[in-house]
Amino acid sequence: MRKVLSVVLAATMAMSLAACGGSGAKTDTKTDTKAADAGTAAGDEASADDYYITIKFSNVFQPAEWNYKASEYLADLVKEKTDGHITLEYYGQNQLDCYAESVAQAHNGAVWMGLEEPSYFADYIGDYNVLVGPMLYKNNAEYNAVMDSDIVKDLNAKLASEHNIHVLDTHYSFGFRSVCTNKVVEKPADLNGLIMRSTESPLFVKTITCLGATPSAMSFTECLSAMSSGVVDGFEGSISTLKDTGAYEYTKKVANTNHFIATRWLFMAEDVYQSIPEKWRNILDECCVEAGKWEQENAENDEASMIEFLKDKGVEWNDVDIDAFTEACAPVYDWIVDEYGADPELHQKLVDFLNDYRAKNE
């Protein structure tokens, strides 16, 4: 009863003060609010200064590959810029969970960061397979334009809010993926009968199937031994992968299909991301973008020297019938809609966006 009476009296006094206070009461309220905001800001600053976090950071890449170099660059940059308040504990070479398992770590709220092919996000939102589907992009500039579009921003916001996966950056690209075998491949029919290593991504498996080869999903570490023993006839991958993994010792023919952009997206758990004080979160954002752009620029600039190196090792290139490969890949987009429930209009939206971009920039 006393509690109820106290509440009633307090409410009555508040109403009386509001009625009689005039402009002076309003001024006092603003002053109090500013003081409270200042106190909160000071508290947030103190809280940030006391905050430390170590995040396990995993991917599959080898030390000579650009993704590995960019991962080390990022870890060093974050530690430096945050004065050690955020530490990325980096594990490359498939030491910890990679591929779909890495994405699942973030989804489940682990203190975790991954760098993976974005088609793995299609397990949560099917449209991601369309974003990185075959025969879509011609260069980094137009890929970046799509990544900066509202289409991707809206998808990433949905991925964070509904599936607890926060995309940190999309610039970790290292060229385009082509067909690497010991046979001259000029059209899809030339792949008939060949066994090609694929990533474990269903998008990649389906694309290789549509191109006419038989996919064999495995990690790239397994791929090297599989090629040396003749279990697989080759793989689809980037020039960087061909050179930096030593795969050129087993495959000497590269068909310039450029069927996929070779890209990885950096991500972590949304709830963990939001738990980081804003001061450090903003710096983390900047570091993630800087490292991604660093990789993309350096990988692109390094391509000519990589090609010369590979030619000296006996690797040969040939052009292909791009229209034939594009036609062969068309069923992949129907499969994405049927299998993943993707937006049936998204592929055409991207094609229209890219055609408009090319018309303005070529």
DSSP per-residue codes, 29-60: HHHHHHHHHHHHHHHHHHHHHT--EEEEEE--
pTM reported for the whole predicted model: 0.85
Band of the pLDDT at 13, cuts 50, 70, 90? very low
CA angle 274, 126, 148 (to 5 degrees): 60
Question: For the chain, what are the domain ranges?
Answer: 51-361
Strands 195-198 and 234-237: parallel
Class of domain 51-361: alpha beta
What amino acid occupies position 359?
A
Beta bridge partners of 177: 260
pLDDT average, residue stretch 66-70: 98
Cα separation of 219 and 99, whole Å?
A: 9
The model's pLDDT over 137-195, given as tens digits with 9 standing for 90+, comes to 999 999 999 999 999 999 999 999 999 999 999 999 999 999 999 999 999 999 999 99
Beta bridge partners of 269: 165
Cα separation of 355 and 51, whole Å?
A: 47
Residue 2 has pLDDT above 90, yes or no: no
Average pLDDT, the chain: 90
Of all residues in the chain, the percent with pLDDT exceeding 70 is 88
Strands 214-217 and 195-198: parallel
Instruction: Please report where in the chains the tokens 């068909």 appear, as a residue.
Output: 255
Number of other CB atoms surrounding residue 15 within 10 Å: 10
Beta bridge partners of 172: 264
Residue 234 DSSP SS3: strand
What amino acid occupies position 93?
Q
Q: What is the pLDDT of residue 29?
A: 34
Q: Quick one: which of 98, 70, 88 has its CA closest to 296? A: 70
Cα separation of 324 and 146, whole Å?
A: 25
Q: Quick one: which of 201, 217, 60 has its CA closest to 118? A: 201
The model's pLDDT over 303-358, given as tens digits with 9 standing for 90+, comes to 999 999 999 999 999 999 999 999 999 999 999 999 999 999 999 999 999 999 99
Number of other CB atoms surrounding residue 108 within 10 Å: 10
